[in-house]
Structure 1
Amino acid sequence: MTPTVRRSLFEPARLGPLTLRNRFLKAATFEGMTKGAVAGDDLIAFHRRHAAGGVAMTTVAYCAVAPEGRTERHQIWMRPEAVAGLRRLTAAVHDEGAAASAQLGHAGPVANGTSNGLPALAPSPMVSAQALARVRAASRQDIARIATAHGEAALLAVESGFDAVEIHLGHNYFASSFLSPRLNKRKDEYGGCLANRAKVARAAARAVRDAVGDRVAILAKLNMDDGVPGGLWLDESLKVARWLEADGSVDALELTAGSSLLNPMYLFRGDAPLQEFAAAMRNPLVRLGVRMVGKRFIRSYPYQEAYLLDSARQFRSALRLPLVLLGGIAQRETAEAAMAEGFEFVAMARALLREPDLINRMRREPGTRSLCVHCNKCMPTIFSGTHCVLAEATDV
């Protein structure tokens, strides 16, 4: 049993080389505000709101390390042309007293090759239902290039003024798809046993550490399980976490779950907004498919506070590495309970979309209750600018 740890939610806390003003992180949620694949005024205002609202650090999602690694063509990819806008963003966040983190990764089979005009990549050949196109198997050259690109992207993040980077190793994006026995059918040194399947994730983290050293904090977002039959499960994920800890390549792990490719609602829980998702699809064939068979893909799971906690406890008891708990953290007492169980930070997303100032209000008024009802209607808004539709309705 993990011993009780006395930590205050609202006192400064260390994360690698950083000192953060409290233990609340704004989790990465793709903002849908990056037309032209750069940071503009809308994205800057979005993160400034969360910084002003009291979080210790806000995470920009998502900064692809290569152009084919985007989920759609307007997503940021890390290149010199993106630096100026990102510098404006980090300066705005710093002006509000918070830190900024860049989520770095490659979408792999989750990438929309049709939108990007570039082939999506996976461990093994497959068909993308979203892009209605084939996804080709990554070559050894692709794997090496993408690992190197993680380090180069991290250097650009430092140049852009970020205080931290978060390496995306979850949700069946590129590194996560290699970890998945269901998606990785390779017969070479990147397939088969877990040690082989983990090479891509470990190489990405090592490339980032070698590139930036201790200049910024390095987190990794790691799936505890994929939420699909035959996918990565807790026992193997825990081994990967131990390897990352032993490698010394990351300062903390943010524990997540689910597959953007095969079972996205496993991460989010709560209502499944099928009609809203269908309406948001630009491709009429995809829109029709969501309406006809969407229930098989966009499933509904009961919501409860801290719904990933039971799984995360197994990681907490086995690791010394700082851990970030996410998944259904909307109330102050939930965050306090996480601190008591030894988690160093908590990450929030939907509750902060509903109320960007929630952390400041929790600090001033301990009895504050989140207004988020976990309807998940914010999720389809990623295609038009991520926001809480209930907050929008209230403001009208």
Structure 2
Amino acid sequence: MASQSVFEPVPLGPLVLKNRFVKAATFEGVMPRGEVSDALIDFHAEVAGGGAAMTTVAYCAVSPGGRVHRDTVVLDHTGVAALRRLTDAVHAHGALACAQIGHAGLVANTLSNRMPTLAPSTRLSAPAMGLVRRASPEQLDTVIADFGTAAAHAVDCGFDAVEIHMGHGYLISSFFSPNLNRRSDRYGGDRVRRAELGRRVAERVRLAVGDRIAVTAKFNMDDGVRGGFWLTDSLPTAQLLESDGHVDALQLTGGSSLLNPMYYFRGDVPMAEFIASQPRAVGLGLRLIGHRLFRSYPFEEAFFLPLARQFREALSMPLMLLGGINRLDAAEAAVAEGFEFVAMARALLREPDLVDTFARGERDAGRCIHCMKCMPTVYSGTECVVRSALRDQPNSSSV
């Protein structure tokens, strides 16, 4: 029989989650020109109906320039009614809804967005398709204000929580990094000044939402690149965020969408599928240099746990363990070690009802095989290709 601790209610700021399981942000790929589509609503309603306590909508940009690309939701006043349909659908299943909010920074595709993006220091960016200029202090003031405005819109949309994106080389994460941030003003230099943007954003978001909803942050423990953000910086930075008191929990992650994306996925690189999903010119480039951009890391259950233990020892605030959790015993062990929540992504792509499956005692492991062939599907609608193949078969019930 499963331990009951993972299925018991637990507080998160002003919320009470019905269990410990959170659907981590996974870019859904079904927001053409930023539209909140029926497919996006169905995606999260299915997860909510499958037993997860909270599902996270990824990724909601705080401004048009902060989008990853043109098919990214911008959390402004124009989308409130549509996103309210999504949160209502999630709530109808007894689950909670979280909006991941952020500015893509160096990860923004400026050609797709048709507008420039920002960086801590001027540098070339492959995702941005060119040179990204150093943000001025005045531009950063605007970004901070945009985060507050987006968070206020999240409340209007009916979201129960917002997750500030402080990971994966996005704008705030890039300011944390000694490799990417070469500034000498209030936003760069030592680790305290490099943390200034993230701290000011968290403060503005909390000011905007008060205690009406929970505020969390997706936080990099390790960029996975030489000279990047690592434990000697990330642990003290997390302590600063805790001491400020604006964030209710950290979801611990790692890697860089800019420089090392496979660090936070793990498993074989689906290079053939990536090439097939891209325009011909991009596909040719991937054939030539794809092995340099996408390093291969072996999959291990709960692969971020060794790093996350360092944070559990250093912090008293609630933490969400992320990274390759596919087994019930791994979730139970995480809770036993003091992690308040377990965040799952790929496992719930394969089986949106996995949490209910665990709770019923039917199985103690998910069906995800960690093939990572879901990654290239973000360009056409994120899905588990194994599940989709089974679902398309007549008379098939094993989905």
Alpha carbons 2:327, 2:365 under 8 Å: kept: yes
Tell me how far 1:7 sits from its aligned partner. Answer: 7.2
Percent identity of equivalent pairs: 57
* Unaligned residue ranges in structure 1 (runs of 5+): 1-5
Tell me how far 1:297 sits from its aligned partner. Answer: 1.1
Distance 1:228 1:109 in 2: 15
**Secondary structure at the residue paired with 2:133?**
strand
Deviations 1:330-377 (A, max 9, x none): 110000000000000000000100011111011002533211011111
Distance 1:246 1:116 in 2: 37
> Which of 332, 344, 347 is residue 348 of structure 1 equivalent to?
344
Deviations 1:162-216 (A, max 9, x none): 0000000000100000111111111222111111111111111111001111100
> Which of 253, 262, 266 is residue 265 of structure 1 equivalent to?
262
Alpha carbons 2:107, 2:128 under 8 Å: kept: no
For the pair 1:305 / 2:301, whether they are aligned, the reply is yes
Tell me how far 1:38 sits from its aligned partner. Answer: 2.7
Partner of 2:17: 20
Aligned amino acid, residue 185 of structure 2: D
Q: CA RMSD of the aligned region, Å?
A: 1.1
For the pair 1:289 / 2:294, whether they are aligned, the reply is no
Matches within 5 A, 1:103-142: 103-142=100-139
Alpha carbons 1:55, 1:98 under 8 Å: kept: yes
Matches within 5 A, 1:168-187: 168-187=165-184
Partner of 2:243: 246
Partner of 2:396: none
Aligned amino acid, residue 247 of structure 1: D
> Which of 311, 315, 323 is residue 327 of structure 1 equivalent to?
323
Distance 1:276 1:119 in 2: 29
Tell me how far 1:84 sits from its aligned partner. Answer: 1.0
Tell me how far 1:299 sits from its aligned partner. Answer: 0.9
Tell me how far 1:138 sits from its aligned partner. Answer: 1.0
Distance 2:387 2:364 in 1: 17
TM-score by length of 1: 0.97
**Secondary structure at the residue paired with 1:8?**
helix
TM-score by length of 2: 0.96
Structure 1 segments, 4+ long, off by >6 Å, are: none
Alpha carbons 1:332, 1:366 under 8 Å: kept: no
Alpha carbons 1:354, 1:372 under 8 Å: kept: yes
Distance 2:161 2:363 in 1: 31
How many equivalent pairs are there? 390
Partner of 2:383: 387
Aligned amino acid, residue 138 of structure 1: A
Partner of 1:3: none
Tell me how far 1:388 sits from its aligned partner. Answer: 0.3
Partner of 1:57: 54
* Unaligned residue ranges in structure 2 (runs of 5+): 393-399
Alpha carbons 1:37, 1:82 under 8 Å: kept: no
Partner of 2:359: 363
**Secondary structure at the residue paired with 1:321?**
coil
